[in-house]
Amino acid sequence: MNEVLFPGAVKLAALEVIWREGRAATLDLSVQPAVEAAADLVRRAAEGQEAVYGVNTGFGKLASVKIPAEQTEALQRNLILSHCCGVGEALDEAATRLMMVLKLMSLGRGASGVKWQTIELIEGMLSKGVTPVVPDQGSVGASGDLAPLAHMAAVMLGEGEATFEGQRLSGGEALAKAGLDPIVLGPKEGLALINGTQFSTALALIGLWQAWRNAQGCIVTASLSTDAIMGSTAPLVDAIHTLRGHKGQIMAARAQRDLMEGSEIRESHREGDTRVQDPYCIRCQAQVSGAAIDLLRRAGEVLEIEANAVTDNPLVLVDEGRIVSGGNFHAEPVGFAADQIAMAIAELGAIAQRRVALMVDPNLSFDLPPFLTPEPGLNSGLMIAEVTTAALMSENKHLANPCTTDSTPTSANQEDHVSMAAHAARRLGRMNANLSNILGVEAICAAQGIDFRAPLKTSDPLQRAMARLREVVPALKEDRYLAPDLNAAAQLIRDGALVSASGLTLDMGEA
């Protein structure tokens, strides 16, 4: 299926569908005249005598070297090949395709000076399934994501490597098998392809979408945990949250109230409960998860702007008839957004881990058996599952340290302040995986705790969530090999199945 995109006005929801479903994308043909006008301005500049950075000069520290018109094709080709210096694991195909879509959108704004044929080749690669092999390390997020984007561009020249129909092939062979022809780069085209923040932005967007799914999962598991330890719902009263006014907090409290409405467990201890207050991990759930929700939303706003932005250099200002060197390639906004996402992920995991610890501790769990096993002593129950969540929580705390404050000079000090946005965005996948594992363990513990409250039942939405969990994770009656259960529960969080079973729906754009 193909998505037609109008550059400058693409919403995150459309990009998420492209990423999750592997859809192809093309640009609305109405942008073609603007693209061609910019390419014509670049062609005329390349034929002129005036030095124009990136058109008829060297790059970076070599910008003072003037390049003759007859060598501009070689200049652009050399630029791509020399910048293919990525190392590490290959980016997964879905992320690479999203990066290509973002590059397509940026070029389609008509300020980069590429030929329409170049855009058509990216569209053809997306349509036919030619996916460049892009190493995931090597970018510092300034002058663009140079190395990753160079590996993408190399395939367009018939160089590098790509996957096609499950095979890893040379770039030229992959294009040929797909019935596509490599291109010869014109003036500035190589620079337009590798300057830009599309690698960092793609990974930050994926981190955002995964974090949003985890945040929803966190509300479901928190509700289950609250019933498991027979916690109070008084802290969820709407007036508390409206008096403070934060939209995410109001939304989180409302969602949790709705999920717990009608719980027999909750109704059973409204009167006569000797506990005055629950620990913060129960009492302050809406405040923490709500703050994370607000942070994710703000990051989403930044990333939607960046996804639609022109971030190469120099920029072709057709209306003004000139080509201007600037710094839109500097990925500071993306780095900041990714750092914010990382903090939200870490805090959601931190409070969820404390709920797990609460449920397995007989001193705090309000009469649940130690480590949630029917025969403690003979069985260790969920003792080490809780330890695993502590390990993952701690790892995420370390990974949440900001990346954007860790600039280092590069390129002979020409590029003397960099964003580290690629680092900031790249670690989000690992952090989200850790968080979904923590939430999976929480779901297992909470379901186990609720089972111990029988014959009292939890609410209908939470019963549905438990039933979905029990399809892949049976109740723990005696010790067994637990790793597959933890993986299965985490997968229910990652694919949204647990949230879907509960009926919870949270829109990232909802006010």
Give backbone dihedrals phi and psi of 501, rounded to 5 degrees, phi first: -60, -35
Neighbours of 242 (CB within 10 A): 12
Taking the C-alpha atoms of residue 242 and residue 131, their distance in angstroms, rounded to an integer, is 48
Task: Provide the strand spans (E) within 13-158.
Answer: 24-27, 87-90, 131-132, 135-137
Query: To the nearest 10°, the Cα dihedral for 149, 150, 153, 157?
Result: -170
Which residues lie closer than 8 Å to 92 by C-beta, 6 or more apart? none
Q: How many H-runs (helices) and E-runs (strands) does the chain carry? A: 20, 9
Tokens of 223: 């509700």
Taking the C-alpha atoms of residue 114 and residue 316, their distance in angstroms, rounded to an integer, is 10
Taking the C-alpha atoms of residue 61 and residue 351, their distance in angstroms, rounded to an integer, is 48
Which helix (H) or strand (E) segment holds residue 499: the answer is helix 497-502
Cβ contact 443:493 at 8 Å: yes
Rounded CA Rg of the chain: 26
Q: Please say if 53 is a catalytic residue.
A: yes
Identify any residues that bridge with 90 across adjacent strands, giving them in sequence order.
Answer: 135
The residue from 19, 53, 59, 329 that is catalytic is 53
Comparing C-alpha atoms, which of 400, 419, 399 is closest to residue 408? 419
Q: In this structure, what DSSP letter does residue 446 have?
A: H
Residues labelled as active-site residues: 53
